[in-house]
């Protein structure tokens, strides 16, 4: 369970960018943390690490799912904040084409079911700029290479 401390939004994006370099088609990341913790910034870093224009990434709160291409893998970004717990059960995120790309899910507690093999990313707010970010790949069949810095 690697844990990192970031001291700015840019640090958070760089951490995610480094992780993205190790991701494979079909990987799912479950991003948890309070509002303002940096989940969307983390996704921008994932995009950059996948070779996608990070400026395209925004919180998909009103559309639930954004898809970004142009990199070595497609990036699917779901924000389930507006759904109730278990409200995403019928969204079909598993069929969203993730086998051809990477799926990043904000507010995964709203899924209502587990994602087997998902990488957990927990962002904790330490102060205005500092975040503690824990990346848990235990569900990745012990593949620590996915998260080594």
Tens-place pLDDT, residues 18-40: 999 999 999 999 999 999 999 99
Residue 89 placed within a domain: no
Residue 117 placed within a domain: yes
Helix axes 9-20, 39-50, angle to 10 degrees: 40
Give 37-67 pLDDT, tens digit per residue.
999 999 999 999 999 999 888 776 667 788 8
The domain that holds 63 is classified in CATH as: 3.40.50.300
Residue 57 placed within a domain: yes
Q: Domain span at residue 67? A: 3-82+96-123+132-139
Give 84-138 pLDDT, tens digit per residue.
655 555 565 666 556 789 999 998 888 777 777 899 999 999 999 999 999 997 4
Residue 55 placed within a domain: yes
Residue 62 placed within a domain: yes
DSSP structure string for 45-90: HHHHHHT--GGG----TTTSEEEE-SSSSEEEEEE-TTSPTTTTTT
């Amino acid at each position: 369970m690697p844990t990192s401390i970031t001291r700015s939004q840019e640090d958070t994006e760089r951490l995610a960018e480094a992780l993205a370099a190790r991701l494979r088609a079909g990987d799912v990341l479950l991003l948890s943390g309070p509002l303002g913790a940096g989940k969307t910034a983390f996704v921008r870093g994932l995009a950059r690490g996948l070779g996608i224009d990070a400026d395209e990434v925004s919180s998909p709160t009103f559309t639930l799912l954004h898809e970004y291409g142009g990199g070595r893998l497609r990036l699917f970004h779901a924000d389930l904040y507006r759904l109730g717990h278990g409200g995403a059960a019928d969204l079909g995120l598993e069929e969203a084409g993730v086998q051809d790309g990477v799926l990043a899910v904000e507010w995964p507690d709203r899924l209502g079911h587990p994602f087997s093999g998902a990488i957990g990313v927990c962002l904790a707010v330490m102060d205005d700029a500092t975040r503690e970010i824990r990346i848990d790949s235990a569900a990745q069949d012990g593949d620590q290479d996915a998260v080594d810095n």
